[in-house]
Amino acid sequence: MILVLGSTGKIGRELVPALLDRGARVRALTRDPSRARIDPRAEVAVGDLDAFEPALLDGVERVFVLTSGHGSDPLAQEQAVLKAATGVSHVVKLSTTGVHFGQTDPISLVHAEAERAVREAGPDWTILRPGTFMDNRFAWLHAVRGDGVIRVPEGDPASALVHVRDIAEVAATVLTGDGHAGKTYPLTGGEALTTRQQVEILGDALGRRLTYVEEPEAASRARMLGFGWPASAVDGIFELKRQSAGKEEIVFDTVRELLGRAPLTFADWAREHAASFA
Ligand SMILES: NC(=O)c1ccc[n+]([C@@H]2O[C@H](COP(=O)([O-])OP(=O)(O)OC[C@H]3O[C@@H](n4cnc5c(N)ncnc54)[C@H](OP(=O)(O)O)[C@@H]3O)[C@@H](O)[C@H]2O)c1
């Protein structure tokens, strides 16, 4: 049995069917099964990582550890799972490339600490460090549906964006295969794109012209605060952007090496989600 944390999130909803297709038994965790649309072949488990119930690990051999970037205290949540996971054979943790590059933004620091906890916990471990998700570009949804003007902070770094399905396929490969214990895999897409190129590719997939506009950081910051995001989260995002400039464009070959195929492209992602942007 494999316990999947974050089973209803961006990676989790791709990972659950990928594991089931490989013949694994899956226990999928959610706080709210009435809202969750989990593959019916999985066992649905109700629970909250802020009050982790060790019984969720009964009969579990492997665990996929993912905590939300918007959670209350991701480090404490992961530590609670690890404390209870003494009978588990293998833990696979979702981290970030920020740790690979030694970044000191708040998100990377929490993941670095959580990685240490996984390495010291006892069970075999594998760490997945993805770069920026293509799915982050859903942030452009309102602009695309509205006037088609996509405002991007000045100095936004070029990025080798990664498709969440590639991350999920790698996680499924690691969780159902051997030879990955003690390994740390940075995961990116196959090409670095500037934000301007990403906007052009999305426009091509939608068959319409989108306008790319760079704006001062203060204007982007004000817009994010206007969405109701906490100031600390907005600060963290800008600090991460500053620190990852020049690094986000580095392409790693791990997706190809682990999956035996090229990573999905941003054009693939844009075509797949064109209907959502309409
Ligand atoms: N976005 C990026 O570009 C990027 C890049 C590298 C790494 N990452 C990392 O990827 C991870 C996932 O980030 P995300 O914010 O996009 O999350 P997400 O996976 O899309 O969604 C959050 C998931 O966590 C579950 N969850 C949230 N709070 C929970 C709680 N208290 N107890 C149990 N389950 C809970 C939610 O399940 P329910 O609502 O069903 O309970 C949902 O399945 C983060 O660690 C982030 O740092 C992100």
Domain membership of residue 272 (yes or no) is: no
Domain membership of residue 197 (yes or no) is: no
Domain membership of residue 59 (yes or no) is: yes
Ligand 1 pocket, residue 67 CB under 6 Å? yes
Cβ–Cβ < 8 Å for 255, 168: no
Separation between Cα atoms, residue 161 and residue 163, nearest integer Å: 7
Report mean pLDDT in 10-residue bins for the chain, 278 residues. Answer: 97 98 98 94 97 97 92 92 96 97 91 97 97 96 95 87 98 98 98 96 96 92 88 86 88 98 98 95
| pLDDT for position 124 | 98
pLDDT digits (tens, 9 = 90+) for 140-182: 999 999 999 999 888 788 999 999 999 999 999 999 999 999 9
Ligand 1 pocket, residue 88 CB under 6 Å? no
Nearest CA to ligand 1 atom 6: 96
Structurally, the chain folds into a number of domains equal to 1
User: What is the distance in A from the centroid of ligand 1 to the CA of 95?
Assistant: 11
Strand partners, 93: 65, 127
| pLDDT for position 224 | 86
Cβ–Cβ < 8 Å for 54, 90: no
Residue keyed to tokens 């989260």: 233
Domain membership of residue 56 (yes or no) is: yes
Ligand 1 pocket, residue 50 CB under 6 Å? yes
Cβ–Cβ < 8 Å for 61, 1: yes
> What domain range is 12 assigned to?
2-131+163-187+251-263
Domain membership of residue 224 (yes or no) is: no
pLDDT digits (tens, 9 = 90+) for 37-53: 999 999 999 999 999 99
- The CATH number of the domain holding residue 126 is 3.40.50.720
The atom number, within ligand 1, closest to the CA of 6 reads 43
Ligand 1 pocket, residue 69 CB under 6 Å? yes
Domain membership of residue 212 (yes or no) is: no
Could you give the C-alpha distances from 189 to 132, 158, 254, in angstroms and in order? 9, 12, 9
Domain membership of residue 217 (yes or no) is: no
Domain membership of residue 218 (yes or no) is: no
Ligand 1 pocket, residue 103 CB under 6 Å? no
Separation between Cα atoms, residue 234 and residue 218, nearest integer Å: 11
198: left (phi over 0), alpha (psi -120 to 50) or beta: alpha
